[in-house]
Every structure is written in C-alpha cells, then in structure tokens.
C-alpha cells in the first residue's frame, strides 16, 4: 500500500460514458439538473467515480472492519467514548 505520490491516482476506465451514466443516476435519485450546471456536474461526477477504485484492495482481509463499527462499552452511561 505504499509508493511514490501519484502512483495510485487512477483515471476512470477508458470508454466509460460518464454523461449517460450520470443522467441515469440523477434520474433514479430524482434530482433535477439545471441545464447550465450539467457539464460541470458531469465532470465532478467523473472525478468522484475515478476515486472509487482506490478504495478497494484485492488482498484486504475480510476481518478489516469499517471505522464506523461501534465498540460498545459496559457502563458507558451517555453513549460517548472513553479514551
């Protein structure tokens, strides 16, 4: 998981039609897209989607749990964390 800066900056898969994909996503979500804002929103969508391969690792153990998993503590009367 180490390497020089930028080594793992990945572009979106070649040939992916972000504009068509974006239109389907927004329609499914019920989000109106102002016409003048569409081009920038598609570009922003493509940039965000290009990040998602970096979240995945082939050798990640199944026991690698999300940081949001709660660790309950006995006697934690207010639901807050003791450190």
Among residues 17, 40, 74, 75, the one that binds another protein under rule CB under 8 A: 40
**Residue 81 within binding range of another protein, rule CB under 8 A:** yes
Contact between residue 44 and residue 51 where contact means Cβ atoms under 8 Å apart: no
**Residue 58 within binding range of another protein, rule CB under 8 A:** no
Angle at 66 between CA 63 and CA 72, to 5 degrees: 95
Smallest distance, another protein to C-beta of residue 22, A: 7
Instruction: Tell me whether residue 15 or residue 71 sits nearer to another protein (CB atom).
Output: 71
Q: How far apart are CA 44 and CA 23, in angstroms?
A: 13
**Residue 79 within binding range of another protein, rule CB under 8 A:** yes
């Amino acid at each position: 998981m180490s390497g020089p800066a930028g080594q793992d900056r990945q572009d979106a898969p070649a040939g992916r039609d972000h504009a068509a994909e974006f239109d389907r996503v927004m329609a499914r979500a019920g989000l109106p897209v102002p016409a003048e804002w569409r081009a920038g929103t598609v570009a922003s969508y493509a940039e965000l989607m290009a990040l998602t391969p970096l979240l995945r690792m082939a050798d990640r153990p199944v026991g690698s749990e999300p940081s949001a998993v709660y660790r309950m503590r006995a006697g934690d009367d207010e639901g807050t964390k003791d450190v």
